[in-house]
A and B are shown apart, each in its own frame.
Chain A
Amino acid sequence: MVTLDETFEQFEEEETDVHLGSTLSGRKRLFSKELRCMMYGFGDDQNPYTESVDLLEDLVIEFITEMTHKAMEVGRTGRVQVEDIVFLVRKDSRKYARVKDLLTMNEELKKARKAFDEVKYAGETPVS
């Protein structure tokens, strides 16, 4: 239901702002809701302007596209692997630290889940 509202809005916008029809903004809005929450979390107003959200979304998509293209050239060509991404952000301390944190936490969570499942399995077998 929310997506239907979004497409309605988008139709209206497209009719009025046809000259903005570059390939990026012609695409359906992928991150509108999440970006609004994110902008509020980072310090913006509770209701950010729609134009600001759109601008940021275009920027994020361009960022991801650039990173992906660069990652495809680095390391194993044609594929994107985690090491490539870590290599690409090595100079930016904030992003590098964040990636390291995320990957470490992911590993820990996987281990915890596995251990939990094993315990559960061990607990179930005598009963069954």
Chain B
Amino acid sequence: MDSIFSRAESAHDKDDGVKCGLESLEVKDDQSLRNEAVGSQDSFSSVKLENDPESSFARSDSDQDQYNDDQDNDNDHDHDQDQDNDETGDTHLNRAASALEDILSNTSSFSKPAASTKSDMKDNSESNDAFHESIMLPKSCSSDKRDKKKEMKSRRELEEEEREKMQVLVSNFTEEQLDRYEMYRRSAFPKAAIKRLMQTITGCSVSQNVVIAMSGIAKVFVGEIVEEALDVMETQGESGPLQPKHLREAIRRLRLKGQIPNGRPRKPMFHF
């Protein structure tokens, strides 16, 4: 009897847990979801696992397979039809909730769902290895590796895509744009001067990596100011070379944002 009551309570918690899982699914790449429905299925199963570490797995395994099949159909169905995540969020939830309630009526009590992080999933799967041996272990273990590989692949894919896009963009530049882009890429602060400056300030030698890092940061700093100053100039409706007043206004704005280190504000020296 007690288990029924706790099940009823945890039904709501379970919905929230599924919501978390679904949100994490939706946040992933559409591409990876469409290509690897199995992967998403695995992540769902691992979310479910982390939600009920105490349930008896012999009984729930069959139900989980059923659950996974339902989810598989749901995922394929949804992703084939719907491109828009916002609209289908509710339909996802409704289907998932109804599927869950079917399972909940059959299986034992569930514990409170924890926040779904990768480490939590791993810990739970490791602690329940003995139970998972028969069916779940191969999936959950390899799913972690596969997920990581997929992440690596998608990162590499993203990098390659970005490189291709840059190539296409640069190939369509006008002469003037090409010139400016070349200046943007090639300009840099002279390492010798930076090294000399830093050694004068510190009084001791600085390594080469430090000089490389500092010149890189200084270039980004200049870029931020020039971009902000161009914004200021545009707002004021002027054009032509940047004037010191635009730069000063840009500096003022960036200082308010906290992007310019201003040291420690000193106490006023004289009292009035």
Contacts and interface: CB of A to CB of B under 8 A. Distances in A.
A25 interface: no
B198 interface: yes
B160 to A, nearest CB: 17
Interface residues of B, number: 51
B190 interface: yes
A10 B182 CA distance: 29
Given A68-B202, A98-B216, A52 B244 contact: yes
A92 interface: yes
Contact of A103 (B182, B190, B212, B224): B212
Q: What is the interface of chain B mostly: helix, strand, loop, or mixed?
A: helix
A100 B165 CA distance: 22
B202 to A, nearest CB: 6
Contacts of A85: 210, 213-214, 217
B27 interface: no
Nearest to A94: B220
B77 interface: no
Contacts of B181: 41
A45 B241 contact: yes
B201 A65 contact: yes
Contacts of B263: 66, 69
Interface in A28-61: 30-31, 34-35, 37-45, 47-49, 51-52, 55-56, 59-61
Contacts of A41: 180-187
13 contacts: A41-B182, A42-B222, A47-B241, A55-B247, A59-B221, A64-B214, A68-B202, A68-B214, A70-B261, A72-B202, A80-B206, A94-B220, A95-B220
